[in-house]
Chain A
Amino acid sequence: MSYVAQTPEQIRGLIAKAKRRDVLFVALGVIALGIGFATFLALFLDMLLDGWGRLRPEFFTQFPSRRAAQAGILSAWVGTFLVMIVTAAVAVPLGVSAGIYLEEYAPKNWVTDVIEINITNLAGVPSIVYGLLALGLFVYAFGLGQSVQTAGLTLALLILPVVIVATREAIRAIPAMIREGAYAVGATRWQTVKDHIIPYSMPGILTGVIIGMSRAIGETAPIITIGALTFIAFLPPAPVGAEFPFLSFEWLKAPFTVMPIQMFNWTSRPDPAFHANAAAAGTILVFMTLAMNGLAIWLRYRLRKNIKW
Chain B
Amino acid sequence: MESASALDAPVGATVPTVVSERLARKFSRNLKERAIEALLFLAAFVSVFTTAGIVYILVKESLVFFSHVPLWQFLTDTQWTPLFADAHYGISVLLSGTITSSAVALLVAIPLGTTIAIYLSEFASPRAREIAKPVLELLSGVPTIVYGYFALLFVTPLLQKLIPSLPGFNLLSAGIVMGIMIVPYVASISEDAMRAVPMALREGSFAMGATRLQTALKVVVPAAVSGIAAAYILGVSRAVGETMILAVAAGMQPNLTFNPLEPAATITAYIVQVALGDLPHGSVGYQTIFAAGLALLLLTLFFNLVGFWMRRRYREAY
Residue B214 CB within 8 A of the other chain: yes
Q: Is the CB of A36 within 8 A of B180?
A: yes
* Interface residue from B115, B268, B300 paired with A28 (Cβ < 8 Å): B115
Counting chain B CB atoms within 10 Å of each CB, which of A32, A289, A294 scores highest? A32
Measured in the bound complex, the distance between the Cα atoms of B145 and A217 in whole Å is 11
Residues from 268 to 296 in A contacting B, C-beta threshold 8 Å: 268, 275, 278-279, 282, 285-286, 289-290, 292-294
Known contacts being A98-B43, A98-B46, is A43 close to B147, with CB within 8 Å?
Answer: yes
Residue A121 CB within 8 A of the other chain: yes
CB distance from B116 to the nearest CB of A (A): 5
Q: Is the CB of A264 within 8 A of B244?
A: yes
Counting chain B CB atoms within 10 Å of each CB, which of A37, A39, A141, A215 scores highest? A39
Q: Is the CB of A43 within 8 A of B154?
A: yes
Measured in the bound complex, the distance between the Cα atoms of B184 and A33 in whole Å is 10
- A211: chain B residues within 8 A (beta carbon): 141
- A62: chain B residues within 8 A (beta carbon): none
Measured in the bound complex, the distance between the Cα atoms of B36 and A103 in whole Å is 15
CB distance from B38 to the nearest CB of A (A): 10
Known contacts being A25-B213, A133-B53, A221-B243, is A39 close to B180, with CB within 8 Å?
Answer: yes
Q: Mark A191-221, 1 if CB is under 8 A from B, else 0.
A: 0000000000000000000010011011111
* Interface residue from A19, A30, A297 paired with B119 (Cβ < 8 Å): A30
CB distance from B132 to the nearest CB of A (A): 6
Known contacts being A190-B36, A225-B275, is A282 close to B145, with CB within 8 Å?
Answer: yes
Q: Mark B101-135, 1 if CB is under 8 A from A, else 0.
A: 00000000001100110111001100000001011
- B57: chain A residues within 8 A (beta carbon): 132-133, 135-137, 141
State the interface size on chain A (CB cutoff 8 A): 91
Residue B297 CB within 8 A of the other chain: yes
* Interface residue from B45, B53, B61 paired with A115 (Cβ < 8 Å): B45
Measured in the bound complex, the distance between the Cα atoms of B120 and A94 in whole Å is 36
Q: Mark B22-45, 1 if CB is under 8 A from A, else 0.
A: 000000010011001101110111
Q: Is the CB of B141 within 8 A of A285?
A: no
Residues from 19 to 50 in A contacting B, C-beta threshold 8 Å: 19, 21-22, 25-26, 28-30, 32-33, 35-37, 39-40, 42-43, 46-47, 50
Q: Is the CB of A119 within 8 A of B213?
A: no
- A263: chain B residues within 8 A (beta carbon): 145-146, 149
Residue A131 CB within 8 A of the other chain: yes
State the A residues within 8 Å of B (CB): 18-19, 21-22, 25-26, 28-30, 32-33, 35-37, 39-40, 42-43, 46-47, 50, 93-95, 97-98, 100-102, 105-106, 114-115, 118-122, 124-133, 135-137, 140-141, 157, 160-161, 164, 186, 188-190, 211, 214-215, 217-221, 224-227, 230, 260, 263-264, 267-268, 275, 278-279, 282, 285-286, 289-290, 292-294, 297
Q: Enumerate 27 A-B pairs (CB-CB under 8 Å) in ascending A order.
A: A25-B119, A29-B124, A36-B112, A39-B180, A42-B150, A47-B146, A94-B46, A95-B43, A100-B40, A105-B40, A126-B297, A128-B293, A129-B296, A133-B54, A157-B50, A160-B47, A188-B29, A189-B33, A218-B141, A225-B275, A267-B145, A267-B148, A282-B145, A285-B143, A289-B143, A290-B141, A294-B138
- Among all A-B residue pairs, the 7 with the closest Cβ atoms: A29-B119, A218-B143, A126-B241, A97-B43, A136-B57, A101-B40, A221-B243
